[in-house]
């Protein structure tokens, strides 16, 4: 933390009350006018300003002259008792008093109503009396009755593109932790041996309200593949570079990096995942790369990694056998565990608190054919996580070890390149496809098809990240265009009992998968028993096996000859030969 002011005093002055005194005004800075800037000023004459110094008053006019019609004629009453009313006449006096009282009551009522209306008008300026306070409940009822009625209103907000001439991929997005008032976009070309000379290495921080000019340009000597804001210190930004280095910025000090890791101790391949750790200092982080390593760092000392893990699923700690990490996920609710998606289609669940490096690889999940481009935990159920790879998205649970996914989407024609959960709805997740389509899934209503498919761009969508409120979703394309989409309330409002319903569904699917897994194990045991039985039969006497084969062979020949009608009655069983020759029989007959 940068120290801007330092206050010093004697130790004997500690605890003494502060004595304040008045000083005359002093001139601290005197900036003389610059005549060269006079041409830049635009005179405005006259300049009108509307000011209101007091409340607006209304003028009321009241006719105070009374006219009373009697049997004696018309009397004009200017005030006090009328001339024709004798105070001694009780009947006329009572009638006149009642009229005066009614007028006074009416006047007081009008004055009180005026003050009440003035109070209401002042209150309306602070409180919207037309606000629909039960709008959420009505929406919930409508959504429960018609779940698709609220899932068709998705509005394109605006787009932000790579400001450079040579376009690059928007490989990663990260929203500012303070109300998502900015978004950091990592621009990098992941094509093999892309050596265009005019290609820039800069990445940018954008203000959603100003999509034409970046708020800050992040300068670097190597393209950045991933960027992440520090949730504790919003001014710190972590980046993983294409050459394997780890770098961080302090946005208060500009776009130049504060410190970088040395090349010889960094990753050997591009860094596809970098996450902050919830430490006390807020300076610890870790990274994963396709070189098969996971490295832990502290930005206060980036000269060397503090810890290392080799992603060797054989648990031999051989770098040549390690699987390349292409996606990384870390949830603050599980501070010692993290997930790694590999290029080979395997998901590795790791535990940092294990005693030995081989034990840090806790579990392995296999199910994808191609690379796992995204892996992320459910924000409501941390043991349930989503993976996106090849042509499908799968949902897993850590409660089932060495098993397949409990739920999955259908196989799409285009490739799936990224995916993430909704931060406000446990059953909703997003997937980005190579044809530029964004799919929004709600497994609580539809499991075979997405609730909404939106064609965002004509080029593939490379990255995806929603805001913390789930209302805005950012999509990065292959040409560096970042499109912000506003989701309808039906897809970003938690419905009644939705969390319990999705929990029941996950538990049901986990039990079903466990039953299928037990059945599969039983079938494997039976197959092993049958294989052992066959091996036992093969170990019998070879001569007996040969005789049994011989008998079976002649029995087959005999059955075939009978079918053809060629067998004679005098044949020896099992040989196909007759008991005597036909020549002898003919000779005996002749004699």
| pLDDT for position 74 | 44
Separation between Cα atoms, residue 448 and residue 410, nearest integer Å: 6
Provide the b/e sequence for 550-583 (b: ≥16 CB within 10 Å). eeeeeeeebeeeeeeeeeeeeeeeeeeeeeeeee
pLDDT at 467 > cutoff 50? yes
CA dihedral sign of residues 255, 260, 264, 265:
negative
Decide if 468 contacts 455 (C-beta within 8 A). no
Separation between Cα atoms, residue 79 and residue 157, nearest integer Å: 71
| pLDDT, tens digit, 9 for 90 and up, residues 488-516 | 888 888 888 888 999 999 999 888 888 88
Give the residue-averaged pLDDT of 480-491: 86
Separation between Cα atoms, residue 24 and residue 180, nearest integer Å: 45
Where is pLDDT greater, at 308 or 14? 308
Contacts with 148 (C-beta within 8 Å, 6 or more apart), sequence order = 445, 451
| pLDDT for position 103 | 81
Element (H, E) at 392: strand 392-397
Separation between Cα atoms, residue 110 and residue 66, nearest integer Å: 20
| pLDDT for position 161 | 72
| pLDDT, tens digit, 9 for 90 and up, residues 247-269 | 999 998 888 989 999 999 899 99
Where is pLDDT greater, at 340 or 117? 340
CA distances from 481 to 164, 186, 194, 340, 434 (A): 11, 11, 19, 27, 14
CA distances from 282 to 233, 238, 308, 352 (A): 7, 12, 20, 18
pLDDT at 97 > cutoff 80? no
| pLDDT for position 84 | 52
Q: How confident is the model at residue 541 (pLDDT cuts 50, 70, 90)?
A: low
| pLDDT for position 583 | 41
| pLDDT for position 578 | 46
Round the average pLDDT of the chain to a whole number and report it: 80
Q: What is the DSSP string of 566-583?
A: ---TTBPTTT--BSS-HH
Give the residue-averaged pLDDT of 97-123: 74
Give the residue-averaged pLDDT of 11-38: 82
**Whose CA is closest to 379, among 467, 297, 447, 508?**
467
| pLDDT for position 63 | 57
| pLDDT for position 387 | 93
Where is pLDDT greater, at 551 or 537? 551
pLDDT at 286 > cutoff 90? yes
| pLDDT for position 360 | 86
| pLDDT for position 89 | 64
Helices (H), 278-417: 357-360
Where is pLDDT greater, at 227 or 533? 227
């Amino acid at each position: 933390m940068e120290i801007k002011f330092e206050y010093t005093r004697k130790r004997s002055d500690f605890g003494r009350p502060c004595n304040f005194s008045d000083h005359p005004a002093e001139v601290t800075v005197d900036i003389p006018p610059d005549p060269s800037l006079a041409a830049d000023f635009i005179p405005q004459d006259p300049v009108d300003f509307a000011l209101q110094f007091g409340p607006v008053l209304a003028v009321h006019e009241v006719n105070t002259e009374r006219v009373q019609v009697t049997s004696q004629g018309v009397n004009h009453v200017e005030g006090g008792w009328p001339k024709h009313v004798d105070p001694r006449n009780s009947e006329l006096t009572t009638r006149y008093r009642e009229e005066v009282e009614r007028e006074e009551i009416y006047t007081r009522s009008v004055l009180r109503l005026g003050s009440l209306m003035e109070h209401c008008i002042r209150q309306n300026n602070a409180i919207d009396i037309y606000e629909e306070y039960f709008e959420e409940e009505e929406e919930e009822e409508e959504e429960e009755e018609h779940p698709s009625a609220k899932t068709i209103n998705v509005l394109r907000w605006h787009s932000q593109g790579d400001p450079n001439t040579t376009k690059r991929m928007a490989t990663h997005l990260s929203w500012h932790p303070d109300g998502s008032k900015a978004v950091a976009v990592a621009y990098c070309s992941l094509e093999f041996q892309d050596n265009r000379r005019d290609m820039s290495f800069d990445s940018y921080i954008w203000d959603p309200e100003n999509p034409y000019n970046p708020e800050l340009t992040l300068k670097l000597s190597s393209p950045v593949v991933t960027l992440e804001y520090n949730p504790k210190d919003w001014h710190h930004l972590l980046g993983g570079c294409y050459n394997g280095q780890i770098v961080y910025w302090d946005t208060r000090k500009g776009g130049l990096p504060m410190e970088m890791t040395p090349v010889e101790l960094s990753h050997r391949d591009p860094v596809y995942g970098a996450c902050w750790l919830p430490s006390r200092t807020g300076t610890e982080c870790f990274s994963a790369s396709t070189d098969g390593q996971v490295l832990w760092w502290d930005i206060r000392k980036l000269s060397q990694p503090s810890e290392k893990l080799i992603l060797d699923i054989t648990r031999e700690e051989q770098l040549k056998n390690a699987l390349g990490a292409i996606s990384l996920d870390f949830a603050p609710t599980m501070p010692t565990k993290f997930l790694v998606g590999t290029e080979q289609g395997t998901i590795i669940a790791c535990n940092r608190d294990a005693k030995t490096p081989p034990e840090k690889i806790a579990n392995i999940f296999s199910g994808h054919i191609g690379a796992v481009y995204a892996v992320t935990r459910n924000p409501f159920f941390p043991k349930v996580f989503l993976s996106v790879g090849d042509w499908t998205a799968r949902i897993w649970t850590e409660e089932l070890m060495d098993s397949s996914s409990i739920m999955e989407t259908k196989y799409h024609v285009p490739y799936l390149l990224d995916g993430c959960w909704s931060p406000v709805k446990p059953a909703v997740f997003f997937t980005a496809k190579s044809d530029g389509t964004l799919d929004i899934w709600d497994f609580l209503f539809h499991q075979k098809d997405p609730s909404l498919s939106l064609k965002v761009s004509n080029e593939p969508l490379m990255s995806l990240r929603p805001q913390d409120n789930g209302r805005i979703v950012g999509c990065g394309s292959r040409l560096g265009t970042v499109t912000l989409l506003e989701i309808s309330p039906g897809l970003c409002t938690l419905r009644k009992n939705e969390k319990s319903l999705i929990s029941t569904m996950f538990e049901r699917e986990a039990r079903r998968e466990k039953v299928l897994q037990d059945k599969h194990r039983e079938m494997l045991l039976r197959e092993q028993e049958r294989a052992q039985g066959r091996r036992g039969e093969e170990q019998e006497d070879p001569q007996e096996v040969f005789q049994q084969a011989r008998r079976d062979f002649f029995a087959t020949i005999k059955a075939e000859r009978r079918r053809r009608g060629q067998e004679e009655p005098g044949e020896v069983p099992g040989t196909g030969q007759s008991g005597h020759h036909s020549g002898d029989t003919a000779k005996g007959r002749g004699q």
